[in-house]
Amino acid sequence: MNKSDGPERTDKVASYREIGVLLIVPVVVAVLTAASWVMAQWKIGPVFVNAALALVATLFGGFQRFLGGFSDIFKRKITVNVFVVVALTATLGIGEFRPAAIIVFIMAVAGALETYTLDKTRRSIRDLLDFAPQTATVRRNGGEVTVPVAELQMGDRVVVRPGERIPVDGVVVAGASSVNQAPITGESMPVEKCEGSAVFSGTLNESGRLEIRTEKVGEETTLARIVHLVQDAQGTRAPIQNLADRFTTWFLPTVVLLAVLAFFATGDIKAAVSVLLVACPCAFAIATPTAVTAGVSNLARRAILVKGGVFLELGHKLDHLLVDKTGTFTFGRPKVMDIVTFNNQTPNDILLLACVAEKYSEHPLGRAILAAGKGKGLSIPEPDHFSSSSGMGVTAGWQGVMIRVGNPSFLQDTGLVVTPQVYEMIGRQSEQGRTAVLVSRDSELLGLLAIADEIRPGMPVAIRALKAMGVKRITMLTGDNPKVAAAVAREIGVDDFQAELLPEQKQAFVRKCQADGEVVGMIGDGVNDAPALALADVGIAMGAAGTDVAIETADVTLMNDDLAGVADFMWMSAKIIQRIKLNILFSMIYNVIGLSLSIVGLMTPIIAVIFQEAGCVTVVISSTLLLWTKGRPAQA
């Protein structure tokens, strides 16, 4: 077995173990109840033995229900659990043990389904902490030593080599490099760092060697603050009250009164118990979890994963969507968007020279240039020699000419003149949120490459679909600069944007919208989005492109990274709520008929159980139809 299979295999084993634990109660209750029925039918053994089996099944399977019911009684709350306790106690009181066991079995199956759907373990905090290195290289006594991060102190000089994650918050005191800050700030492009630049724990050093003066360690770092923000936000989420519990507030007293009337009308205690049994809210209890389970399965077939019914209950109510830019509206990777030529050069000529110069470059912009060349089918030869100036550009010799690719300052330092007209072209690219890279050959400026984070296709259509589902406002949140944010916002057609945001600022914006009375959905893909995802009424993660942290923190995951999936989720949310209400209507119809027959003494306890079970079957069939419900109508 491959070593990489270890964690995945462990997770699968844990999942199977969880399912097995949830099935223990229903299986044990079913076996004991079936054994009791067989012994009674075939007259095997003493009567008290088969009665005892049914009693044990009832007490074993209904223990949590009894516990919850008595707890609610002490709290003076009327819930489904209270109703079940009353019905089961009355049933046991007249010696009808098997009907009580059958009710408990139905409740146990529904409870197992609901528990598995709603209470999956989240590992977001552990995954967040995985971004922080456990050790650091520190300069001490004229040499370099590796120490645990926990032993770092303020003022320590930490050495970070290319490909390593930065272990502290601090300031660069030596070296230069490109640092990928997307996990913390959400910036789409790596940021050039040099002496005096601030850096964050958990970010990735991509190209050069850095020496960093430690300013924050441990719990004080930005990454640690993100962890605490996620913990706090997850703790603030309150469950929505179940429709069945609200109904039983007045339904239980009514049924108890009807049971008393049935007893006085017939003089038969079994008639009173039959009233309680036929009105037992089994169908009410499973009306919500069965519909939710079917809806979740339907969405899963369309690569939309939902972590619980509470989020489906809120989904169709979303009126303000906050969407992270990088990795959500965009792919989160630089791409050559345009080639502007000077002096009658062809775009392919300029691109070929740029590819030759960047062939050995490790810079993300250099990789984007090489990807563009390969996309054009260019054969890229080896340069005769190559050198790089970190954060500025590259120089390469090829076939007797000197090629330079970089920013205007880099080319001007070599004596090349950058005219005002060229600066004007660079400005126009900047207004579109693009980074302009100049290309020169010897002393001649040939053109520029415009590079930007690529916008995902179909974004305007997805925006229209969300608006059609009732979303009143869509705001883009990003750590990028305002020019880049404005350009992307214009192109995709969102209502507003907030730029240069850190994780805590994104979360604060979510809190502000909620304070204004809005039902807020947050869509993101990175570690920096986790606090906002956790606090939002519904957090939605981009699955394929997203980090494990975002996926585990979010309530909904779009595995195919299609933003239109949010509209599908909202549409299915509305369908599920409609089906839950329909299920409750079915339950009420069965209750009205069953109660009417019980009051006049036309039902025995066994028939009452069969009748109320028929109501449960109807609800299950109604919910199961959601599995085959087609998706929302496509938007033009």
CATH of the domain at 195: 2.70.150.10
Instruction: Judge whether residue 7 has pLDDT over 80.
Output: no
Q: Averaged over 32-58, what is the pLDDT?
A: 91
The per-residue pLDDT for range 88-114, each reduced to its tens digit, is 888 888 888 988 898 788 777 766 765
pLDDT at 339: 93
Cα–Cα distance, 142 to 101 (Å, whole number):
76
Residues 538 and 445 placed together within one structural domain of the fold? no
Band the pLDDT of 246: cuts 50, 70, 90. Answer: low
Nearest CA-CA partner of 309 in 585, 580, 622, 21: 580
Cα–Cα distance, 541 to 48 (Å, whole number):
56
Residues 325 and 465 placed together within one structural domain of the fold? yes
**Residue 444, SS3?**
strand
Q: Is residue 492 part of a domain?
A: yes
Band the pLDDT of 635: cuts 50, 70, 90. Answer: low
Nearest CA-CA partner of 35 in 97, 113, 111: 97
Cα–Cα distance, 503 to 506 (Å, whole number):
5
Cα–Cα distance, 93 to 87 (Å, whole number):
10
Copy the structure tokens of residue 525: 């893909």
Band the pLDDT of 234: cuts 50, 70, 90. Answer: very low
Cα–Cα distance, 336 to 359 (Å, whole number):
15
Residues 440 and 530 placed together within one structural domain of the fold? no
- Name the least confident of 37-46, 137-146, 282-291: 282-291
Q: Are strands 473-477 and 496-498 parallel, antiparallel or unpaired?
A: parallel
Residues 435 and 469 placed together within one structural domain of the fold? no
Domain boundary among the residues 220, 247, 267 is at: 220
- Name the least confident of 50-64, 240-254, 391-405: 240-254
Name residue 343's beta-bridge partners. none
The per-residue pLDDT for range 127-171, each reduced to its tens digit, is 555 667 889 999 988 889 999 988 998 999 999 999 899 999 999
Mean pLDDT of the chain: 82
pLDDT at 232: 54
Q: Is residue 166 part of a domain?
A: yes
Cα–Cα distance, 559 to 578 (Å, whole number):
26
| CATH number (domain holding residue 544) | 3.40.50.1000
Band the pLDDT of 118: cuts 50, 70, 90. Answer: very low
CA atoms within 13 A on the CB side of 3: 0
Residues 394 and 319 placed together within one structural domain of the fold? no
Cα–Cα distance, 395 to 303 (Å, whole number):
46
Cα–Cα distance, 25 to 558 (Å, whole number):
33
Per-residue burial over 19-49, b if 16 or more Cβ lie within 10 Å, else e, is eeebeebbebbbebbebbbebbeeeeeeeee
Cα–Cα distance, 326 to 606 (Å, whole number):
61
242 or 413, greater pLDDT: 413
269 or 283, greater pLDDT: 269
pLDDT at 160: 94
The per-residue pLDDT for range 523-533, each reduced to its tens digit, is 988 777 888 88
Cα–Cα distance, 545 to 565 (Å, whole number):
14
Copy the structure tokens of residue 611: 């009748």
CA atoms within 13 A on the CB side of 258: 24
Catalytic residue among 72, 156, 324, 537: 324
Number of domains in the chain: 3
Instruction: Judge whether residue 174 has pLDDT over 80.
Output: yes
| CATH number (domain holding residue 377) | 3.40.1110.10
Q: Is residue 542 part of a domain?
A: yes
Band the pLDDT of 405: cuts 50, 70, 90. Answer: very high
Residues 474 and 545 placed together within one structural domain of the fold? yes
Residues 403 and 461 placed together within one structural domain of the fold? no
Domain boundary among the residues 555, 570, 585 is at: 570
Give the torsion sign (CA, 266, 267, 270, 272): positive
Band the pLDDT of 370: cuts 50, 70, 90. Answer: very high
Domain boundary among the residues 220, 241, 275 is at: 220
Q: Is residue 196 part of a domain?
A: yes
Q: Is residue 153 part of a domain?
A: yes
Q: Is residue 595 part of a domain?
A: no
Q: Is residue 576 part of a domain?
A: no
- Name the least confident of 80-84, 506-510, 568-572: 80-84
Q: Is residue 550 part of a domain?
A: yes
pLDDT at 212: 94
pLDDT at 550: 65
115 or 515, greater pLDDT: 515
Residue 324 appears among annotated catalytic residues: yes
Instruction: Judge whether residue 636 has pLDDT over 60.
Output: no
Host domain of residue 508: 300-330+456-570
Residues 444 and 528 placed together within one structural domain of the fold? no
Instruction: Judge whether residue 313 has pLDDT over 90.
Output: no
Residue type, position 294, single letter: A
